[in-house]
Amino acid sequence: MKNYRFLLPVFLVLLTFSLSSCDVIGDIFKAGMWTGLIGVVLVVLLILFILRKVRR
């Protein structure tokens, strides 16, 4: 698993350049509060899942 440690920074940089925060926030407001809340929870769970996999 230590061979994959370099993937997390690469993934985060790719994610940073591929998502524009203004577009994401605008889409969340258009979709509604519950959709935004579910999206935020899913993103947090995904980040926690990735961090747990990297630490093992």
Q: How far is CA 3 from CA 14, 15, 47, 56, in A?
A: 19, 21, 19, 12
Residue spans of the domains in the chain: they are: 2-55
Q: What is the DSSP letter of 5?
A: T
Who has greater pLDDT, 49 or 11?
A: 49
Q: What is the pLDDT of residues 14-48, one digit of tens each?
A: 777 766 667 767 776 777 878 778 888 999 999 99
pLDDT band at 49 (very low <50, low <70, confident <90, very high): very high
